[in-house]
Amino acid sequence: MNRAAFKLVEMDSVFGLTWEFAERDLCFVDVCGGPGSWTEYVMWRRAFCDHHLRTFGYGMTLVVASLDWNAYKMNQWSKSMYRGLLHENARCKALYGPRQDGDVTRPDNIHSLVSKVHKRSNLFLADGGFDVSESPNEQERLSQRLFLCQMALGMSVLAERGHLVCKLFDAFTQPTQDIIYIASRCFSEITLYKPVSSRPANSERYLVCKGFLATAATREAVAAMLELNEALERTTSSSLSSLEHCPEYAHTLGHYHQSMLEDEAFVEYLRERNDTMTMSQISHLKRTFTYVQDPYLQSVDQHSIGREFFRYWNMSTESTEYNPTRKAFEDYVRSIHSRGYNPRKPSLNTDSKTLEFLLVSVE
């Protein structure tokens, strides 16, 4: 597994994304996932389940040499999925859409994947991103369309009570905030989460959504998101990725923004998450600068911290049972869930010294 996989390992350990299906069949979708570390992790986890349980995955990623699926880099359990077999009931299929380019922003590719999955997915994973080194301050704006498409696609293929994980970058612009708000109405619970395995000085974070609600309101929201993407597809503007510049934005998603502004609890949650993550990012940027100034400055023992997190994340191959009985781990999980937004029940509001210790250690 590469470094990207450990972000999902951590989120699975915190939110129980795959363990909820430890005694059930699992259908998952992994988009923008090449060369395949997130699929690799899911298949690795499922290798310890009862072999009578079925595991089936669908993947769509760009057809680029460095980004396409690469089974040769995977572990022994996951490699076999591209030969068609993990065990007799576990398979994974790579799809690229009618264009055969794997671009999830293209409407015909989206519709093709949705028609293949048929609302059967229990878990939707989206780790899309692209190089913005020439315009780093525009990363959120440039990624808006990708975020929109990943979220719309996820909510188009999820079964009732399914879970979704989607990467995003910052949450300061109206389109990003509106999409997060839509997710809060379409799932039982959402959390904006920054994995400790994510580079602390960058703007990367994940929207973790649990308990998909397959309602008429959800279908209406998904249809509006897909309509907006089709409008973007028709435009020839250079600001193709920027949703706020699309004339159809007000028609499709504009009313959700007004509803968001009237939801004081959501606005406060979003403000708190933005403030906390931004201050953490600034702190780590300053810390990075001190290492640039002093090349002899010693960091903490990252290997020891890594081993500690492996224990927290239940990554030992010696144990196949999910057993988070340690108080420290339970405190850690509760502290993360207390940072979630659930409009249907109060937050846990649990303080945790464990989380504070872990985050300081990673610094």
Alpha carbon distances (Å) from 84 to 48, 57, 160: 18, 11, 27
Q: What is the pLDDT of residue 92?
A: 82
Q: Which amino acid is at 226?
A: L
Q: What is the pLDDT of residue 333?
A: 52
Could you give the CA distance from residue 316 to residue 9 in angstroms, rounded to a whole number? Answer: 12
- Chunked mean pLDDT (size 10), the chain, 363 residues: 81 89 91 88 80 85 71 51 44 88 95 94 94 82 94 97 96 95 96 87 92 96 96 70 82 93 94 91 86 79 67 56 46 56 43 35 35
Q: What is the pLDDT of residue 362?
A: 37
Q: What is the pTM of this model?
A: 0.82
Q: What is the pLDDT of residue 125?
A: 98
Domain ranges, ordered by start, for the chain: 3-299
Q: CATH fold of 3-299, please? A: Rossmann fold (3.40.50)
Q: What is the pLDDT of residue 241?
A: 56
Q: What is the pLDDT of residue 209?
A: 96
Q: What is the pLDDT of residue 29?
A: 96
Per-residue pLDDT tens digits for 23-67: 889 999 999 988 888 998 898 888 767 777 888 899 999 987 556
Three-state secondary structure readout of the chain: CCHHHHHHHHHHHHHCCCHHHCCCCEEEEEECCCCCHHHHHHHHHHCCCCCCCCEEEEEECCCCCCCCCCHHHCCHHHHHHHHCCCCCCEEEEECCCCCCCCCCCCHHHHHHHHHHHCCCEEEEEECCCCCCCCCHHHHHHHCHHHHHHHHHHHHHHEEEEEEEEEEEECCCCHHHHHHHHHHHHHEEEEEEECCCCCCCCCCEEEEEEEEECCCHHHHHHHHHHHHHHHHHHHCCCCCCCCHHHCCCHHHHCHHHHHHHHHCHHHHHHHHHHHHHHHHHHHHHHHHHHHHHHCCCCCCCCHHHHHHHHHHHCCCCCCCCCCCCCCHHHHHHHHHHHCCCECCCCCCCCCCCHHHHHHHHHHC
> 7 and 135 in contact (C-beta within 8 Å)?
no
Q: What is the pLDDT of residue 21?
A: 87
Q: What is the pLDDT of residue 87?
A: 41
Could you give the CA distance from residue 66 to residue 194 in angstroms, rounded to a whole number? Answer: 25
Alpha carbon distances (Å) from 109 to 28, 54, 278: 17, 26, 35
Q: Which residues are catalytic?
A: 167
Q: What is the pLDDT of residue 73?
A: 55
Q: What is the pLDDT of residue 234?
A: 86
